[in-house]
Amino acid sequence: MRTKIAACLGTLSLSAGMLLAMPGAAHADGIPYRYNVPVGQTYTKGDVIFYNRSVGVVGEQKSVTPSSCRYTRATAYDSYSHIIGESSSTPVCGASAKVNLAVSADVPGGADYVVVCLVHWRGDDVLKCQGIDP
């Protein structure tokens, strides 16, 4: 009986050690993380969805006046804070529009975090940003 118990414990500890040694994913695929970047009455808001080698940014952006256009920019970073991908929406002027961005994160494990910004289209002035870290 002691031999069987010892064999089972040995197998169990070996299996647990192998599981702990396996590389883990940086995050679970497909889980949405909310972002909300308001500036006065304008905004960009929605969800950031992390995948293995890309990031999806879906939501809505709004500009109040036709002369004050805005767009959404999403930048993906690796674990060393290097930019690994970036994507921007089409500017919206005095209206609301859907945001649907695909950001490349073509490194093992994908993006470590993403920064979503609301940007003024003239001069590319960044108005405000939010970091999303799964």
Query: How does pLDDT run across 93-112, given as a tens digit for each residue?
Result: 999 999 999 999 999 989 99
pLDDT at residue 122, as a whole number: 82
- 28 backbone dihedrals φ, ψ, rounded to 5°: -80, 135
The pLDDT of 64-74, averaged and rounded, is: 95
How far apart are the C-alpha atoms of 85 and 114, rounded to whole Å?
9
Q: Tell me the pLDDT tens digit for each residue of 28-51.
A: 578 999 999 999 999 999 999 999
Q: How far is CA 100 from CA 8, 27, 47, 55, in A?
A: 52, 21, 10, 11
pLDDT at residue 27, as a whole number: 57
pLDDT at residue 109, as a whole number: 87
The pLDDT of 52-72, averaged and rounded, is: 96
Percent of the chain with pLDDT over 90: 72
Q: Does residue 125 carry a pLDDT above 80?
A: yes
| H-run or E-run covering 32 | strand 32-39
Q: Does residue 87 carry a pLDDT above 50?
A: yes
b/e sequence 96-105, b meaning 16+ C-beta within 10 Å: ebebebebeb
Q: What is the mean pLDDT of the chain?
A: 84
Which domains does the chain possess?
Answer: 32-132 (2.60.40)
How far apart are the C-alpha atoms of 65 and 67, rounded to whole Å?
5
Q: Does residue 116 carry a pLDDT above 50?
A: yes
Tell me the pTM: 0.79
